[in-house]
A = this chain, B = another copy of it.
Amino acid sequence: MRLFGLALTTLAATAVAFTALADGHSKALESAIQARKANMGVISYHTGLLGAMAKGDTPYDAAIATAAAENLASAASMNRMVLWLEGSAQGTMEGTRAKPEIWSDAAGFEEDAMALETATAAMVTAAGTDLDALRIAMAAVGTACGDCHKANRGPRN
């Protein structure tokens, strides 16, 4: 019984340790989801500023457009290793629309993400050139956004 008691105690301690680890891991995944949604908000804001100029809703301003494009390119180029943690997909975690394909087809996701990096880098130059250049660059940014969402974003919860 004493041995059994010890075994149970050990088992309980192990279970607690596992739960603590799982809790920590789950919190890490939740934080990563919040961080990438925040970064998506940063992307969305600056895309909105550039999109409004492209549509003529706000006057073209080279300095503002360049600043927005710089921030957009920075946000789009964030290192994905610490944001897209394995195990943080829709279906496994709450509050995210990240498809499991992001991890099961990592090369495909990387390609989609790189397309946005390329399009936003081009926008940095285009934004300060003139409105026509901005509009052309904006179309490419929009395509990259749409393609990545189509392939990697799940349905609304």
Q: How many copies does the complex hold?
A: 2
CB within 8 Å of B: which A56-85 residues? 63-64, 67-68, 70-71, 74-75, 77-79, 81-83
Task: State A82–B66 Cα separation when bound (angstroms).
Answer: 10
Of A8-16, A32-40, A92-100, A132-140, the one touching chain B: A32-40
Check A19 for interface membership: any CB of B closer than 8 A.
no
Q: Which residues of B contact A71 (CB under 8 A)?
A: 78-79, 82-83
Minimum distance in angstroms from A41 CB to a CB of chain B: 4
Check A113 for interface membership: any CB of B closer than 8 A.
no
Of A45-53, A103-111, A149-157, the one touching chain B: A45-53
Contact A34 B41 (CB under 8 A): yes
Interface residues on A, range: 20 to 34
Minimum distance in angstroms from A83 CB to a CB of chain B: 7
Check A31 for interface membership: any CB of B closer than 8 A.
yes
The answer to whether residues A42 and B38 also contact, given A63-B81, A67-B81 and a CB cut-off of 8 A, is yes
